[in-house]
Amino acid sequence: MKHISSFFSIIIILSLFSCNHSVSLFYNKGVEEYQRGNFRQAVVEFNHAIIENPSQAEYYLNRGKAFYLLKNFSAAERDFSMVIKLEENNKEAFLQRAYCNLELDNVDKALDDVTKSIKLDYQNPSAYFLRGYIREMEDDLSGALLDYYTVLKYDSLNYRAYVNLGNIKANIGDNIGAINDFTDAIAINPNDENAYLNRGTDKAIVGDFEGAVEDFTQVIRINPSNIEAYYLRGEAKVMADDFKGAINDFDILIDADPDNAKTFYSRGLAKTYIKDTKGACADFETAAKLGLPRAFEAINEYCKNVKKKK
């Protein structure tokens, strides 16, 4: 299973800014509305402030933030571009525009902007994190690894950087290295379900099935609705010879989603280990009816001598 990394632009976009008594009353009102979460009204107030003073870069910067949170990425990008026109070395505007360009699928422009932001502020871990994410998207894994390590140089408690490092290492086959990174992430944030889920997956790959079960169980404790964790725990329990425990997990999944052919198939396999051939074949039959090709192979292998009900 390929691990997928993520970025969290919201952390940057929601950075607080305060009212300034030396600037427009409209601007201060916009700040107040922004901080209340009233982003549309914040835009209205910032519009008035810009009409009043169209050369104030800060007004465009914060209107751009409001547009971003309204998911109007094109408008936000234009505002951040105006900031750069007014202040060519505004490091925050380059970083914010990079987020917008990424949302607009302008990946090359996003990479260029975040690199310019880093040149203006080489100690900003958020910029390195974003560039690492973009490089990972573009399969520049060595560059991404370097950026995530640089994040940790300036922000040693950034557990998301450890998670993304682990994802890259897992995807290139360094499962032990990935496990170590996920462990570091968990030490910082013991409630990150993705770190447990990914570490459990890698533990299963290296044959630590009991450890995998423990990690998937922790995911379920954190988020009882995480369906994937139940399935992976069931699979790991089969490999750990806990067949009845696996069947219990698959039972839960089937109750939640009775049309999932893969779960019926997996439960059927688990039942073969406890010699419940009849139950196994019933599950294989259901999986086959739901369109899973390998279920037909299982029927041919396990069910030739099972009498069908009349």
Q: What is the DSSP letter of 23?
A: S
Listed in sequence order, the residues at least 6 apart from 16 whose beta carbon sits closer than 8 Å to its beta carbon are: 35
Is 307 inside any structural domain? yes
Q: What is the pTM of this model?
A: 0.87
Q: How would residue 130 be classed by pLDDT, with cut points 50, 70 and 90?
A: very high
CATH of the domain at 86: 1.25.40.10
What integer is the mean pLDDT of 206-226? 98
Distance of CA 232 to the CA centre of its chain: 18
Torsion of CA 291, 292, 293, 298, to 10 degrees: -130
Residue 18 has pLDDT above 80, yes or no: no
Residue 26 has pLDDT above 80, yes or no: yes
Is 189 inside any structural domain? no
Other beta carbons within 10 angstroms of residue 110's beta carbon come to: 23
pLDDT at 304: 86
Is 129 inside any structural domain? no
| Percent of the chain residues past pLDDT 90, beyond the cut | 90
Per-residue pLDDT of 248-297, as tens digits, reads 999 999 999 999 999 999 999 999 999 999 999 999 999 999 999 999 99
Based on the structure, what is the number of domains in the chain? 2
Is 221 inside any structural domain? no
Higher pLDDT, 80 or 9: 80
Range of the domain at 291: 249-310
Radius of gyration of the chain (CA): 26
The closest of 54, 91, 94, 90 to 77, measured between CA atoms, is 94
What tokens were used for 189?
């944030």
What integer is the mean pLDDT of 218-244? 97
The residue type found at 208 is: D
Is 215 inside any structural domain? no
CA–CA–CA angle 190, 228, 224 (5° rounding): 55
Last residue of a domain, one of 121, 140, 168: 121
What tokens were used for 168?
């890259």
Per-residue pLDDT of 180-205, as tens digits, reads 999 999 999 999 999 999 999 999 99
pLDDT at 309: 46
- 100 and 68 Cβ atoms separated by less than 8 Å: yes
pLDDT at 1: 63
Last residue of a domain, one of 121, 156, 180: 121
pLDDT at 6: 64
What integer is the mean pLDDT of 297-307? 87
Q: How would residue 306 be classed by pLDDT, with cut points 50, 70 and 90?
A: confident
What integer is the mean pLDDT of 73-82? 98
CA distance 76 to 83: 11
Burial label for 117, CB within 10 Å (0-12, 13-18, 19+), is: buried
Last residue of a domain, one of 101, 121, 141: 121
pLDDT at 24: 84
pLDDT at 62: 96
CA distance 199 to 3: 10
Is 187 inside any structural domain? no
Is 98 inside any structural domain? yes
Higher pLDDT, 9 or 239: 239
Is 238 inside any structural domain? no
